[in-house]
Amino acid sequence: MRVSNFIVNIVQMRESSFNIGVKMGKLIKNSSLIKTFESITKPEIDYKNMEFIYSTFAPYLLEELEGLSQGLEMPLNRTAALFGGYDLPRTEALGCSAIMTRDYYVRNYDFSPDLYDGLFSLVQPDSRFATAGYNLQLLGRHDGVNQEGLVAGLHFVSNQGFTKGVSAWMAVRMMLDSCSTTEEAIAMLKEIPHAACYNFSLGDKKRDIAVVEASPDQVVVRRGLSVLSCVNHFQDDTIKDKNRPSITHSVKRSNYLSELSEKHYRHTEMFEEFNSVGSPLFFTDYDDLFGTLHTFSYSYQDTRILTAVARGKMTLDINFQKWIDGKTSIELYWKA
Q: What is the pLDDT of residues 137-195, one digit of tens each?
A: 999 999 999 999 999 999 999 999 999 999 999 999 999 999 999 999 999 999 999 99
Contact of 211 with 193, CB cutoff 8 Å: no
Average per-residue pLDDT in the chain? Answer: 93
pLDDT of 289: 67
Q: Determine the Cα–Cα distance for residues 21 and 15; give it in Å rounded to an integer.
A: 9
Distance between CA atoms of residues 188 and 68, nearest Å? 25
Say how many residues make up the chain: 336
Q: What interhelical angle do 76-83 and 47-57 show, nearest 10?
A: 70
Q: How confident is the model at residue 91 (pLDDT cuts 50, 70, 90)?
A: confident
User: What is the pLDDT, as a whole number, of residue 1?
Assistant: 32
- Give the CB-side neighbour count of residue 294, counting CA atoms within 13 A: 30
Q: Are 82 and 266 in contact (CB under 8 A)?
A: no
More confident residue, 313 or 203: 203
- Summarised one tens digit per residue, pLDDT across range 211-231 is 999 999 999 999 988 999 999
**pLDDT band with cut points at 50, 70 and 90 for residue 90:** confident
Instruction: Please state the rounded mean pLDDT for residues 233-238.
Output: 97
pLDDT tens-place string over residues 304-324: 999 999 877 789 999 999 999
pLDDT value at residue 238: 96
SS3 157: strand
| DSSP symbol at 255 | H
